[in-house]
């Protein structure tokens, strides 16, 4: 018999390496820090961890600007630390997924430094996308593409003697030049990088900007009104979701499958809709793709139900599991998106129980199990993320969801690092009330709820498999059955409801009472029942 593939229903915990745990007090989290805290994650009950980039990097984009794909940045540790971390995780039964960033390198990568030093038309320049400018003197960018972080997606080089040189493409920061994936050498290089880490025992990769590597070779201007801002829903750009990108994944799948032990590939692909996402999940391509539609849906029963149905139906067609995501290092933390304060937290916890009850796998972002809110009042001079233009104003970047984790104690750095550590982003004093230590001692805490839910998810076989069938529970209430004995109900109606359901409460995100064939469910609350 074949073993059910682990990633099909895994709960994967995203570790933002710089902000998880700092073992040496330099203010940046690191691999030994993560290793020392792994037992906490095993206790939480997740199945795998995903580590954000820890490679050698100037950190112009939080490490998504890689200067050496085969080594660890000294701030984060060493290759030996990585091996120790992977071994410790495996000993605890946790799988390890790492990030791979193939769309662009750092401008400090040896390849780009060589390209800058070389002549136009040279093999060194061929690895990136260099073009002459338009207009008299080539003073205008080669086309009108915009960087995701705002401004033109092209930057012009200047020669050491001060004369202008060619322009290069960067869909993100100027410190992140796009690689040219029409070049076989680039393919070979990444094949080798994949093998380097697979040989070290990683269980898979999260592929950064998985929809971006292939560009329309004509580099055509985009139409007026189109933007790189995928969250605005404008896609079909000549640099995203091009057909050619799928060839890369068919090759990567062969590589992953050539290793023992179910290595998984998950795409970060912000593309138009579930149908387009599913093209990345064809049997000979990737195993999973983040379902960003769920993340982008507000607190609305009808909208959530439509997204759930569409996601499940689309994934069913391709035979790949749906994934559910509420937060990551790029978006405002979901308790804040859902309104913040007590209400945001209630909704956030209910949305989590909903997500964890659905078929497929789920991704948690570090700190959501503590109910951490977005930090919206970081001092201006502490901000590090590139800012970008959006709808006529400057976005302040994503630092607010990247503040280091509070572990214990009553003052900063709350166990994130040794006493006296100045964390790379300041931690709010109020987080003394949100430390893991305090929440462990409080059965009513978000951490206690996450822990109970993850345990129940493992115990209830019905949660591992089986389609959902909706129960008609009235306006604003989502309720469904899975298998013979499991029901999940969520109240988004704006008022308390009583549902004609009997069963034993397994987990609830608020004060639910059950009895006499009825469940009293407060507003913004979710419950799991064994029926």
Q: Which of 20, 76, 145, 172 is in the footprint of ligand ISL by CB under 6 A?
A: 172
- Closest separation between CB of residue 63 and ligand ISL, Å? 9
The question of whether 208 is a catalytic residue gets the answer yes
Point out the catalytic residue in the list 99, 180, 203, 268: 268
Chain positions 126 to 145 lying near ligand ISL, rule: CB under 6 A, are: none
Secondary element (H or E) of residue 39: helix 31-44
Q: Going residue by residue from 24 to 63, which x/- string records binding to ligand ISL, judged by CB under 6 A?
A: -------------------------------------xx-
Q: Choose between 60 and 478: whose C-beta lies nearer to ligand ISL.
A: 60
Q: Does 207 bind ligand ISL (CB under 6 A)?
A: no
Burial track 210-230 (b if 16+ CB lie within 10 A, e otherwise): bbbbbbeeeeeebeeebbbbb
Q: Which of 35, 41, 59, 331 is in the footprint of ligand ISL by CB under 6 A?
A: 331
The question of whether 268 is a catalytic residue gets the answer yes
Separation CA 77–CA 29 (nearest Å): 10
Q: Choose between 15 and 497: whose C-beta lies nearer to ligand ISL.
A: 15
Q: Which of 68, 272, 330, 523 is in the footprint of ligand ISL by CB under 6 A?
A: 330
Point out the catalytic residue in the list 81, 99, 180, 208: 208
Q: Which range binds ligand ISL by CB under 6 A, 187-195, 244-252, 255-263, 326-334?
A: 326-334
Q: In sequence order, which residues have a C-beta less than 8 Å from that of residue 76 and are 6 or more positions away?
A: 17, 18, 28, 29, 30, 31, 54
Q: In sequence order, which residues have a C-beta less than 8 Å from that of residue 23 and are 6 or more positions away?
A: 30, 32, 33, 36, 417
Q: Does 209 bind ligand ISL (CB under 6 A)?
A: yes
Instruction: Write out the DSSP string of 254-291.
Output: HHHHTSSS--EEEE----SSHHHHHGGGSTTS-SEE--
Q: Would you put residue 121 in left (φ > 0), alpha (ψ -120 to 50) or beta?
A: left
- Closest separation between CB of residue 510 and ligand ISL, Å? 30
Q: Does 267 bind ligand ISL (CB under 6 A)?
A: no
- Closest separation between CB of residue 386 and ligand ISL, Å? 8
Contact (Cβ atoms closer than 8 angstroms) between residue 179 and residue 106: no
The footprint of ligand ISL on this chain (CB under 6 A) covers a number of residues equal to: 15
Q: Does 148 bind ligand ISL (CB under 6 A)?
A: yes
* Residue positions annotated with a catalytic role: 208, 268
Which residues of this protein are in contact with ligand ISL, per CB under 6 A?
61-62, 64, 101, 148, 172, 208-209, 230-231, 268, 270, 329-331
């Amino acid at each position: 018999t074949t073993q059910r593939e682990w990633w099909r229903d895994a709960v994967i915990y995203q570790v933002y390496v710089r902000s998880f745990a700092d073992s040496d007090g330099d203010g940046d989290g690191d691999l030994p820090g993560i290793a020392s805290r792994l037992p906490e994650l095993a206790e939480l009950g997740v199945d795998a961890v995903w580590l954000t980039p820890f490679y050698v990097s100037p950190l112009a984009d939080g490490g998504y600007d890689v200067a050496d794909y085969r080594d660890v940045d000294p701030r984060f540790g060493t290759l030996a630390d990585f091996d120790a971390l992977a071994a410790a995780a495996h000993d605890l039964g946790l799988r390890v997924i790492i990030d791979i960033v193939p769309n662009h390198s750092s401008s400090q990568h040896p390849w780009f430094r060589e390209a800058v030093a070389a002549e136009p038309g040279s093999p060194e320049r061929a690895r990136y996308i260099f073009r002459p400018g338009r207009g008299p003197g080539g003073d205008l960018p080669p086309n009108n593409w915009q960087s995701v972080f705002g401004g033109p997606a092209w930057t012009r080089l200047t020669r050491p003697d001060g004369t202008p040189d060619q322009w290069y493409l960067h869909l993100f920061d100027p410190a992140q030049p796009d690689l040219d994936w029409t070049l076989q050498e680039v393919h070979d290089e990444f094949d080798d990088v994949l093998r380097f880490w697979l040989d070290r025992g990683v269980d898979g990769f999260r592929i950064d900007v998985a929809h971006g590597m292939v560009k329309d070779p004509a580099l055509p201007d985009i139409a007026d009104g189109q933007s790189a801002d995928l969250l605005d829903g404008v896609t079909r750009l000549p640099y995203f979701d091009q057909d050619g990108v799928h060839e890369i994944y068919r090759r990567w799948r062969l590589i992953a499958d050539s290793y023992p032990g179910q290595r998984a590939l998950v795409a970060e692909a912000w593309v138009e809709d579930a149908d387009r996402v599913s093209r990345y999940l064809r049997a000979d391509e990737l195993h999973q793709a983040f379902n960003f539609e769920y993340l982008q849906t507000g607190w609305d029963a009808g909208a959530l139900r439509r997204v759930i149905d569409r996601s499940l139906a689309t994934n069913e067609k391709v035979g790949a599991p749906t994934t559910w995501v509420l937060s990551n290092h790029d978006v405002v933390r979901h308790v804040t998106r859902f309104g913040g304060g007590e209400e945001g937290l209630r909704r956030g916890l209910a949305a989590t129980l909903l997500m964890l009850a659905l078929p497929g796998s789920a991704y948690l972002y570090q700190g959501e199990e503590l109910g951490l809110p977005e930090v919206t009042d970081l001092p201006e001079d502490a901000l590090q993320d590139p800012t970008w233009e959006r709808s006529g104003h400057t976005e302040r970047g994503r630092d607010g969801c990247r503040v280091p984790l509070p572990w214990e104690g009553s003052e900063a750095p709350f166990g994130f690092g040794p006493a006296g550590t100045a964390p790379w982003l300041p931690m709010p004093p109020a987080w003394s009330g949100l430390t893991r230590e305090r929440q462990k001692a409080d059965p009513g805490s978000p951490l206690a709820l996450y822990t109970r839910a993850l345990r129940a998810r493992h115990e209830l076989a019905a949660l591992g498999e089986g389609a959902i069938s909706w129960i008609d529970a009235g306006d604003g209430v989502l309720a469904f059955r899975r298998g013979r004995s499991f029901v999940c109900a969520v109240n988004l109606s704006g008022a308390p409801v009583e549902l004609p359901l009997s069963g034993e409460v397994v987990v609830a995100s608020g004060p639910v009472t059950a009895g006499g064939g009825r469940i009293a469910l407060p507003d913004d609350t979710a419950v799991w029942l064994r029926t």
